[in-house]
Amino acid sequence: MARRQVTCQWCQGAVPEQGRGRPRKYCSHSCRQRAYEQRTRVSGTSIPEDAVIMRPEKAERLTDLLFELRCAAEDIATAVEENSPADEIRGLCAELVTIARRAEHLR
């Protein structure tokens, strides 16, 4: 039976498979440490343990990326509505995927 790929609970990267024992939650000691730091930062506060705390510049970057994603999606919708050539739509879709991948790695 094939095991499904486990993703890191911190960075969403692939977690290397291991032989026996409890399944790993993090891909590296660094990610485990960052998750621990996050949990201890919110300990004793009303902030939920699974809340994500960002620096203002990262929150601004996320806002910018979300705006880029929306614009890229609107460009695709417009291109489809205008019956644009498939190559143009493919290019716009590739741009959308690129922006989404940048957003994934923001954390």
pLDDT digits (tens, 9 = 90+) for 48-86: 877 777 788 888 999 999 999 999 999 999 999 999 999
Q: Are 6 and 22 in contact (CB under 8 A)?
A: no
- Between 59 and 2, the higher pLDDT residue: 59
Question: What are the C-alpha distances in Å from 93 to residues 32, 36, 104, 106?
Answer: 34, 37, 17, 20
Question: What are the C-alpha distances in Å from 11 to residues 52, 78, 104?
Answer: 12, 34, 9
Predicted structure pTM score:
0.57
Q: How far apart are CA 54 and CA 23, in angstroms?
A: 28
Which pLDDT band, with edges at 50, 70 and 90, does 13 fall under?
confident
Q: How far apart are CA 97 and CA 72, in angstroms?
A: 9
State yes or no: pLDDT of 34 exceeds 80.
yes
